Amino acid sequence: MLAFICALVFSGALIVAAYCDAATMTIPNRLNIVFAIAFVALGPLALGWQGFAMHVGAGAAMLAVGVTFFALGWIGGGDAKLFAATALWIGWHDMAAYAAVTGVAGGVLTLGLMTLRNVPVVPAAAFDHAWVARLLRPKGDVPYGLALAAGGLVVFPQGAFMAAASAF
């Protein structure tokens, strides 16, 4: 039951974050806060206190990385916070896999958007939804929350956190 609850919370938060980022180019602070608080509530149950502390360390380190990337203008502030909140759940054990999958997903997303933005098949203004037109706008931003969500949704289910939560 604990594994199901953790999977539901983790997946739900990432899906909502991806949707918000795609639709508005914003990942709500409240979502990241709730995501982190859910980890504080569920993490010790699944991981024990030592494992919990290691995951908190991973989250703190990835917050520092995210803030650095934000300061350099490489990612948005919401992406930096989502990266840190997701790292709480992913932990050190699965961080390399998460970074690799997220990087590939981000590359595919970026290349896909660049291609769609430069192929005048249908003008962006023809879409009824403003968010689609915004995504297709030349030189527009990339909603990297989609890549962060993809990385988390691929890595988390078979990661160490879920293995520990499944033991209950």
pLDDT band at 117 (very low <50, low <70, confident <90, very high): confident
Nearest to 83 by CA among 120, 58, 112, 108: 58
Q: What is the mean pLDDT of the chain?
A: 91
Alpha carbon distance 165, 96 (integer Å): 21
pLDDT tens for each residue of 143-157: 999 999 999 999 999
Average pLDDT for 116-139: 71
Buried b (16+ CB within 10 A) or exposed e, 32-47: beebbebbeebbeebb
pLDDT tens for each residue of 28-60: 999 999 999 999 999 999 999 999 999 999 999
Nearest to 140 by CA among 113, 108, 115: 113
Alpha carbon distance 130, 136 (integer Å): 10
pTM of the model: 0.90
